[in-house]
Amino acid sequence: MTDTNKQNIYTLEQNLIEELNDNKEDILENSCPEDVVSQYADSWVPIYNYDLLEVAQSDLTLGYIDHEVEGDIYAQLSFSIYQRLQAVGDQWLQDNQVEVA
């Protein structure tokens, strides 16, 4: 039996993209759209340790340490998830700024 409520990185990425699309006009009209995208990405990073571990189970590369982060493994996972979501947000912004230009 599988738990359909488990969090995974793919779902977080899709939720972020959906939220960015829902707020596209406000984001692109902002004087610092990069900051707004960063805030949205940050808001999708799980805050509970159990949820961080669930997301890490969906992609074990999130646990690879390729940068120093103060704190424990949960801080590392949180930062890795944020970096992944930030990359998705940056790509979304690049794609959508091209459409507007």
Residue 40, classified by CB atoms within 10 Å of its CB into exposed (0-12), middle (13-18) or buried (19+), is buried
pLDDT tens, position by position, 30-84? 999 999 999 999 999 999 999 999 999 999 999 887 777 888 999 999 999 999 9
Question: Which residues, including other chains, have CB under 8 Å from residue 29's CB and lie 6 or more apart?
Answer: none
Where do the domains of the chain lie, and which CATH numbers do they carry? 9-100 (1.20.120)
Q: How many CA atoms lie within 13 A of 80 on its CB side?
A: 23
pLDDT at 1: 39
Sign of the Cα pseudo-torsion (41, 44, 50, 53, in order): negative
